[in-house]
Amino acid sequence: MSLRGNRIEKAATLPDGRQALVRIGVPDDPYIPRRELDTVDVELVLDGRVAAAVNTILEPEQEHEASVLAREIVAGLESGSLEPTAGALEPLADSLPS
Is 33 a member of any domain?
A: yes
Is 44 a member of any domain?
A: yes
Spatial distance between the Cα atoms of 97 and 58, rounded to a whole number of angstroms: 10
Is 1 a member of any domain?
A: no
Is 55 a member of any domain?
A: yes
Is 3 a member of any domain?
A: no
User: Considering only CA atoms, which of 12, 18, 23, 35 is closest in space to residue 66?
Assistant: 23
Other beta carbons within 10 angstroms of residue 22's beta carbon come to 23
- Residue 78, domain extent: 8-93
Q: What is the pLDDT of residues 9-45, one digit of tens each?
A: 999 999 999 999 999 999 888 898 878 889 999 999 9
Give how many domains the chain has, as a whole number: 1
Q: Which residues pair with 10 in a beta bridge?
A: 22
Q: What is the pLDDT of residues 45-96, one digit of tens each?
A: 998 999 999 999 999 999 999 999 999 999 999 999 999 999 999 999 999 8
Please state the pTM of the whole predicted model.
Answer: 0.92
